[in-house]
Amino acid sequence: MAKSGSATLSKSISGREKIAVLMVSLGSEIAPEIYKKLDDATIELITLEIANLRKVTPETKLEVLKEAQEILMAREFMARGGVDYARDVLEKALGPERAQNLLSRITASLQVRPFDFVRHTDATQVLGFIQNEHPQTIALILAYLEPPQAALILSGLAPEMQAEVTKRIANMDRITPEVLREVERVLERKLSSVMGQDFTMAGGIDSVVSIVNSADRTTERNIMEYLEENDPELAEEIKKRLFVFEDIMRLDDRSLQRILRDVDLKELSLALKGATEELKTKFFKNMSKRAAEMLQEDMDFMGPVRVKDVEEAQQKVVNVVRSLEEQGEIVIASGGEDELVV
């Protein structure tokens, strides 16, 4: 039964969805650490995928985590002693069939086929995006899809277009990698923009906000700049829920005093080096006179500091704020000045 469940999962959820489920499952502390090791383009794609994530069952999350663990284990064995060594070890641990399936998936993942993301998208949805494209573009896309999916899309085209596309597929020979990548990029962007409207509890906005809130400020800026340009509505929705260091100005004095009990004053002095005078004053007035004087002395003695170090310190303070909110010890009003907390 376990083998059957794993096979069903592989067919019912795409590779990108698995990554999104994995990132959400890892949580807001580990996911940002992974983000730091990725390039900007990959971060953007993963973030959009998390926002688009449909509802995922606990069983699916467990399967994704289990698969990720097995893949990492298999890759380690392959790197250590090659495919034969990995197969021998995995067969002893997982059995011949699962070992072979795992190695086959890893080998296939090293050579990603064009339009892989389309294979896990509903044929009707794909048709809606490509039916007005040039026949040569449609032919190129269908040529790389599995025959059943390509047939469904082809059947939805106008009769004259069906014939034209079929002819072009038959006459297609070689295509340059540059053209192929450009068509992939455009289609993927179109699909992502529409699927981004479906937010759910399993992933969605809350998961994106949680991860972005915990990421470093450079990663946060990269993500938000990309979304502002490519998906303004999503960017605006995230902004409404995103808590940054400057938003501490919105907190009441009692909440700030609670935060100060958990914040390292050395980190705070570094964080305040990049703050406005208004925010500094807010902190000082919620501290004892002696503590405020010591904090100011630390800031003066510190001298010039790197912006990156300041942003990291500010993020640590924000993490304390978010942690206290999750524990119910403080309340962050997210609706602006009109929101009342009683």
Calpha distance 151→136 (Å, rounded): 16
Q: Say if 8 falls within a structural domain.
A: yes
- Give the pLDDT confidence score for residue 198 in this predicted structure: 39
Q: Say if 168 falls within a structural domain.
A: yes
Number of domains in the chain: 3
Q: Say if 281 falls within a structural domain.
A: yes
Q: Say if 218 falls within a structural domain.
A: no
Q: Say if 83 falls within a structural domain.
A: yes
Query: Is residue 249 a contact partner of residue 333, using CB atoms and an 8 Å limit?
Result: no
Q: Which domain holds residue 249?
A: 245-326
pLDDT by 10s per residue, the chain, length 342: 333 333 334 446 777 788 888 888 887 778 888 888 777 777 777 888 888 776 778 888 888 888 887 777 777 776 666 667 777 877 887 788 877 777 766 655 544 566 666 666 777 777 887 888 888 888 888 887 777 788 888 888 887 788 888 877 777 766 666 777 777 777 777 666 554 443 333 346 666 666 666 666 677 777 778 778 887 887 777 776 777 788 888 888 999 999 999 998 888 999 998 888 999 999 999 999 999 899 888 888 887 888 888 888 888 888 888 788 878 888 776 444 444 333
User: Who contacts 262 (Cβ-Cβ below 8 Å, separation ≥6)?
Assistant: 320, 323, 324
Task: Count Cα neighbours of 174 within 13 Å in the Cβ-side half-sphere.
Answer: 2
Q: What is the largest CA-CA distance in the chain?
A: 83
Q: Say if 249 falls within a structural domain.
A: yes
Query: Is residue 178 a contact partner of residue 204, using CB atoms and an 8 Å limit?
Result: no
Q: Say if 53 falls within a structural domain.
A: yes
Calpha distance 73→17 (Å, rounded): 21
Q: What is the DSSP string of 281-332?
A: HHHHHTS-HHHHHHHHHHHHHH-S--HHHHHHHHHHHHHHHHHHHHTTSS--
Query: Is residue 3 a contact partner of residue 98, using CB atoms and an 8 Å limit?
Result: yes
Task: Count Cα neighbours of 4 within 13 Å in the Cβ-side half-sphere.
Answer: 1
Calpha distance 212→238 (Å, rounded): 9
CATH number, position 166: 1.10.220.30
Calpha distance 165→142 (Å, rounded): 9
Distance in Å from the first CA to the final CA of the chain: 52
Answering whether pTM is above 0.75, one says: no
Q: Say if 126 falls within a structural domain.
A: yes
Of 115, 136, 169, which marks where a domain is finished?
115
Calpha distance 190→201 (Å, rounded): 23
